[in-house]
């Protein structure tokens, strides 16, 4: 029996390795090509099991953008070609206009702004991804970015947890961040198990030299779609969303 199990295990490794798309690593990360990895991070909260989908991308191999959709859609309706990753973006009002600062192709969308003392910003200029704490670097009228969105709260700053208290309010979660080497990480949990504090704590436990993480819209907005080199993954929204963050293979 042990020989059969060992054979099956060896065969499975061979099959995945020989196809050239999936490489299983010792820490459970799975490589897709040379520029993307993913894993399921399992956790237990109050004796209930849950997981966070984690995707790591090398930004040098992707074109990164923010899209303000002409018509709000669910993630499963979106198609950006053969190889892409798309997640929901930031908060919006009932009329689907942005609740905070949003800039697309260097042009401001809407005129609302969250309190800069309690929020952060994800920006992309010349395909350079950055997260900034707006307490330290507030947005000013002359600022121009290729793409930018304001959201809250900042979950992790300089590798340390930024939220000090646990509200206990559980929901589905979406966040995006970067490590000290410049890799970008997407974090998505589709179960109503994590408060923001618990979400932050789980990310800090991961085998990542994480530097900055910003929370995005969650709850019914949480969504992820991956279609990349034969690998597909979908966490669909429970509601329509008007803005998304897109990674397209160069």
Contact 154, 162 (CB under 8 A): yes
Residue with tokens 């929020």: 119
What pLDDT, on the 0 to 100 scale, is given for residue 22? 37
Contact between 95 and 163 (Cβ < 8 Å): no
pLDDT by 10-residue block (mean), the chain, 250 residues: 40 38 55 94 94 97 98 98 97 98 98 98 98 98 96 98 98 98 98 98 97 99 97 97 98
pTM: 0.89
pLDDT of residue 217: 99
Partners of 148 in the beta sheet?
103, 123
pLDDT confidence of residue 208: 95
């Amino acid at each position: 029996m042990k020989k059969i199990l060992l054979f099956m295990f060896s065969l499975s490794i061979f099959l995945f390795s020989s196809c050239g798309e999936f490489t299983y690593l010792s820490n459970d990360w799975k490589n897709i090509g040379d520029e993307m990895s993913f894993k399921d991070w399992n956790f237990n909260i109050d004796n209930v099991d849950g997981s966070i989908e984690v995707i790591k991308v090398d930004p040098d191999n992707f074109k990164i953008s923010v899209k303000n959709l002409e018509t709000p859609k669910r993630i499963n309706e979106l198609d950006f070609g053969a190889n892409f990753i798309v997640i929901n973006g930031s908060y919006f009002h009932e009329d689907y206009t942005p609740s905070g600062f949003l800039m697309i192709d260097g042009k401001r969308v809407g005129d609302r702004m969250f309190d800069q003392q309690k929020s952060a910003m994800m920006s992309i200029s010349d395909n350079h991804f950055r997260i900034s704490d707006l307490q330290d670097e507030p947005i000013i009228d002359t600022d121009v970015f290729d793409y930018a969105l304001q959201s809250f709260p900042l979950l992790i700053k300089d590798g340390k947890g930024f939220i000090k208290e646990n509200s206990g309010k559980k929901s589905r979660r979406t966040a995006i961040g970067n490590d000290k080497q410049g890799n970008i990480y997407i974090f998505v949990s589709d179960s109503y198990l994590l408060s923001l504090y618990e979400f932050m704590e789980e990310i800090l436990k991961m085998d990542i030299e994480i530097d900055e993480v910003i929370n995005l819209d969650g709850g019914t907005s949480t969504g992820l779609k991956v279609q990349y080199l034969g690998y597909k993954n979908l966490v669909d929204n429970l509601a329509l969303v008007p803005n998304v963050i897109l990674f397209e293979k160069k």
